[in-house]
Structure 1
Amino acid sequence: MGRNLFILAGSLVLFAFISCGVAYTNIAQQPGSPGDASLWRTMGLGLFVVGLLVALAGILSSLFEQAERRAEEDRRAKRRR
């Protein structure tokens, strides 16, 4: 599950950078483009924060999976003795 969360976090951060890139180019100022530059920046910041939170969840998930794996190995080793 940790890998899936890292992939999700990476894609969210990529979309955040794209949103911020659109805000600082002339695309956001063209007539007929969706929203204005501040909306693109806000959306980029929001996506970036959500991406960071998902990455943190992925890190914690990986750490807990590793701890469970090691605890199970220790239990097996104790049973063998």
Structure 2
Amino acid sequence: MGRNLYILAGTLFLFALVAFGLSVSNVAQQPGSPGDASLWRTMGLGFFVLSMVIALGGIFSTLFEQAERRAEEARAARRRKP
């Protein structure tokens, strides 16, 4: 599950970079463009924070899976060694 969270975090980070790029380019200042520069910056910041939270969830998920696997290996080793 950790790998899926990393992929989701990476995708959201890419969206954050695109939104920040749109906020500094002239695309956001053109008439008829969707929103203004501050809206793009806010969306970029939201995507960035959300991607960091999801990446943290992926890290915790990976750490807990590793700890569970090592505990299971230690229990199996104790059972084999009488």
| TM-score, normalization by structure 1 | 0.99
1:75 corresponds to which residue?
75
* Equivalence for 1:65: 65
Residue 16 (1) aligns with residue 16 (2): yes
SS of match in other structure, 2:9: helix
Counterpart in the other structure of 1:31: 31
Aligned residues: 81
Q: What secondary structure sits across from 2:77 in the alignment?
A: helix
Give the C-alpha shift of residue 31 in structure 1: 1.0
Separation in structure 1 between the aligned mates of residue 4 and residue 11 of structure 2, nearest angstrom: 11
Gaps of 5+ in 1: none
Structure 2 gap ranges (5+)? none
Secondary structure of the residue aligned to 2:26 is coil
Using the TM superposition, give the Cα deviation of residue 62 of structure 1 relative to its aligned residue in structure 2, in angstroms.
Answer: 0.2
Alignment of 1:43-58 (within 5 A): 43-58=43-58
Report the TM-score when normalising by structure 2.
0.98
CA deviation string 1:2-41 (max 9, x = no partner): 0000000000001001000000000001111100000000
Alignment root-mean-square deviation, CA: 0.4
